[in-house]
Amino acid sequence: MPSEIVMKCSAALKRKKWNVSFAESVTAGRLASEFSMTKNSGAILRGGIVCYEAFVKEQLLHVPHEMIQKHSAESAEVTKLLAQQTAKLFNAKVTAAITGLSSPGGSETRQKPVGTIFFYIITPTEQIRHRELFHGTPEQIVMQAVDKTAQLIHDAIESL
Protein backbone atom coordinates (compact mmCIF):
# COMPACT_ATOMS: atom_id res chain seq x y z
CA MET A 1 0.00 0.00 0.00
CA PRO A 2 1.36 3.43 -0.89
CA SER A 3 2.41 5.73 1.92
CA GLU A 4 0.25 8.62 3.04
CA ILE A 5 2.46 11.17 1.26
CA VAL A 6 2.34 9.24 -2.03
CA MET A 7 -1.46 9.16 -1.79
CA LYS A 8 -1.59 12.90 -0.93
CA CYS A 9 0.73 13.70 -3.83
CA SER A 10 -1.34 11.61 -6.21
CA ALA A 11 -4.52 13.39 -5.11
CA ALA A 12 -2.84 16.79 -5.50
CA LEU A 13 -1.69 15.90 -9.01
CA LYS A 14 -5.24 14.85 -9.91
CA ARG A 15 -6.74 18.06 -8.48
CA LYS A 16 -4.31 20.05 -10.61
CA LYS A 17 -5.05 17.81 -13.65
CA TRP A 18 -1.32 17.13 -13.96
CA ASN A 19 0.36 13.87 -14.86
CA VAL A 20 3.77 12.59 -13.78
CA SER A 21 6.65 10.61 -15.25
CA PHE A 22 9.76 9.19 -13.63
CA ALA A 23 13.39 8.46 -14.50
CA GLU A 24 14.44 5.97 -11.85
CA SER A 25 17.89 4.71 -11.08
CA VAL A 26 18.25 3.93 -7.36
CA THR A 27 14.52 3.27 -6.92
CA ALA A 28 14.46 0.88 -9.90
CA GLY A 29 10.78 1.37 -10.68
CA ARG A 30 9.52 1.62 -7.10
CA LEU A 31 8.31 5.21 -7.60
CA ALA A 32 6.11 4.26 -10.53
CA SER A 33 4.96 1.16 -8.69
CA GLU A 34 3.92 3.09 -5.58
CA PHE A 35 2.09 5.74 -7.61
CA SER A 36 0.40 3.01 -9.68
CA MET A 37 -1.27 1.68 -6.53
CA THR A 38 -3.06 4.95 -5.71
CA LYS A 39 -6.72 5.38 -6.62
CA ASN A 40 -5.74 8.24 -8.94
CA SER A 41 -3.10 6.31 -10.88
CA GLY A 42 -5.03 6.21 -14.14
CA ALA A 43 -5.42 9.97 -14.12
CA ILE A 44 -1.90 10.95 -13.08
CA LEU A 45 0.73 8.31 -13.93
CA ARG A 46 2.09 8.71 -17.45
CA GLY A 47 4.99 6.25 -17.06
CA GLY A 48 8.64 5.94 -16.33
CA ILE A 49 12.03 4.57 -17.23
CA VAL A 50 14.24 2.43 -15.05
CA CYS A 51 17.77 3.53 -15.87
CA TYR A 52 19.69 1.65 -13.21
CA GLU A 53 22.83 0.94 -15.21
CA ALA A 54 24.93 3.72 -16.73
CA PHE A 55 24.56 2.05 -20.14
CA VAL A 56 20.81 2.77 -20.09
CA LYS A 57 21.37 6.36 -18.99
CA GLU A 58 23.72 6.81 -21.93
CA GLN A 59 21.88 4.86 -24.62
CA LEU A 60 18.25 5.59 -23.85
CA LEU A 61 18.40 9.00 -22.19
CA HIS A 62 21.49 10.32 -24.00
CA VAL A 63 23.57 11.18 -20.94
CA PRO A 64 27.09 11.71 -22.29
CA HIS A 65 29.55 9.04 -21.18
CA GLU A 66 32.00 11.80 -20.27
CA MET A 67 29.48 13.34 -17.87
CA ILE A 68 29.07 10.02 -16.06
CA GLN A 69 32.84 9.58 -15.92
CA LYS A 70 33.34 13.08 -14.56
CA HIS A 71 30.49 13.21 -12.02
CA SER A 72 29.44 9.52 -11.64
CA ALA A 73 26.11 7.96 -12.56
CA GLU A 74 24.82 8.95 -9.12
CA SER A 75 25.21 12.72 -9.14
CA ALA A 76 23.21 15.93 -9.24
CA GLU A 77 24.46 16.67 -12.76
CA VAL A 78 23.37 13.31 -14.19
CA THR A 79 20.04 13.41 -12.33
CA LYS A 80 19.21 16.80 -13.87
CA LEU A 81 19.90 15.51 -17.37
CA LEU A 82 17.82 12.38 -16.72
CA ALA A 83 14.88 14.58 -15.73
CA GLN A 84 15.27 16.81 -18.77
CA GLN A 85 15.48 13.89 -21.21
CA THR A 86 12.58 12.03 -19.58
CA ALA A 87 10.45 15.19 -19.69
CA LYS A 88 10.99 15.30 -23.46
CA LEU A 89 10.06 11.62 -23.89
CA PHE A 90 6.93 11.58 -21.75
CA ASN A 91 5.72 15.18 -22.12
CA ALA A 92 4.29 15.01 -18.59
CA LYS A 93 3.42 18.07 -16.50
CA VAL A 94 5.75 16.78 -13.76
CA THR A 95 8.90 14.74 -14.27
CA ALA A 96 11.03 13.43 -11.43
CA ALA A 97 14.46 11.84 -11.77
CA ILE A 98 16.24 10.08 -8.95
CA THR A 99 19.70 8.58 -8.58
CA GLY A 100 21.75 7.61 -5.58
CA LEU A 101 23.33 4.94 -3.46
CA SER A 102 21.24 2.50 -1.45
CA SER A 103 24.00 -0.07 -0.89
CA PRO A 104 27.80 -0.24 -0.98
CA GLY A 105 29.76 -0.96 -4.14
CA GLY A 106 28.91 2.04 -6.28
CA SER A 107 30.43 5.48 -6.45
CA GLU A 108 30.30 6.19 -2.72
CA THR A 109 32.91 8.47 -1.18
CA ARG A 110 33.27 10.34 2.10
CA GLN A 111 31.42 13.25 0.53
CA LYS A 112 28.80 10.93 -1.01
CA PRO A 113 28.22 8.00 1.38
CA VAL A 114 25.74 5.18 0.94
CA GLY A 115 22.29 6.66 1.49
CA THR A 116 22.98 9.78 -0.60
CA ILE A 117 20.08 10.40 -2.99
CA PHE A 118 19.81 13.02 -5.73
CA PHE A 119 16.43 14.34 -6.91
CA TYR A 120 15.58 16.59 -9.84
CA ILE A 121 11.95 17.49 -10.44
CA ILE A 122 10.54 19.55 -13.29
CA THR A 123 7.08 21.11 -12.90
CA PRO A 124 5.34 23.69 -15.08
CA THR A 125 6.44 26.42 -12.67
CA GLU A 126 9.81 25.36 -11.25
CA GLN A 127 12.75 23.00 -11.28
CA ILE A 128 13.64 21.42 -7.95
CA ARG A 129 17.12 20.16 -7.21
CA HIS A 130 17.51 18.28 -3.92
CA ARG A 131 20.10 16.06 -2.26
CA GLU A 132 19.51 14.12 0.92
CA LEU A 133 21.24 11.47 3.02
CA PHE A 134 19.02 8.62 4.23
CA HIS A 135 19.92 5.80 6.60
CA GLY A 136 18.85 2.18 6.87
CA THR A 137 18.75 -0.93 4.75
CA PRO A 138 18.66 -0.58 0.96
CA GLU A 139 14.88 -1.05 1.03
CA GLN A 140 14.45 1.55 3.77
CA ILE A 141 16.60 4.03 1.84
CA VAL A 142 14.59 3.45 -1.34
CA MET A 143 11.26 3.87 0.45
CA GLN A 144 12.45 7.07 2.14
CA ALA A 145 13.52 8.33 -1.29
CA VAL A 146 10.10 7.48 -2.76
CA ASP A 147 8.38 9.41 0.03
CA LYS A 148 10.76 12.36 -0.33
CA THR A 149 10.04 12.54 -4.06
CA ALA A 150 6.30 12.56 -3.35
CA GLN A 151 6.82 15.23 -0.67
CA LEU A 152 8.84 17.46 -3.00
CA ILE A 153 6.21 17.19 -5.75
CA HIS A 154 3.36 17.71 -3.29
CA ASP A 155 5.00 20.78 -1.76
CA ALA A 156 5.57 22.27 -5.21
CA ILE A 157 1.91 21.78 -6.14
CA GLU A 158 0.61 23.14 -2.85
CA SER A 159 2.83 26.25 -3.07
CA LEU A 160 1.00 27.44 -6.20
Write down the pTM of the prediction: 0.97
**Spatial distance between the Cα atoms of 18 and 61, rounded to a whole number of angstroms:** 23
Residue 73, in any domain of the structure: yes
Give per-residue pLDDT as tens, 98-135.
999 999 988 999 999 999 999 999 999 999 999 999 99
CATH number at residue 1: 3.90.950.20
> For residue 159, what is the DSSP state?
T
Residue 131, in any domain of the structure: no
Q: Which domain holds residue 75?
A: 1-5+19-107+141-160
The count of domains in the chain is 1
Residue 160, in any domain of the structure: yes
Residue 77, in any domain of the structure: yes
pLDDT under 50: residue ranges of the chain: none
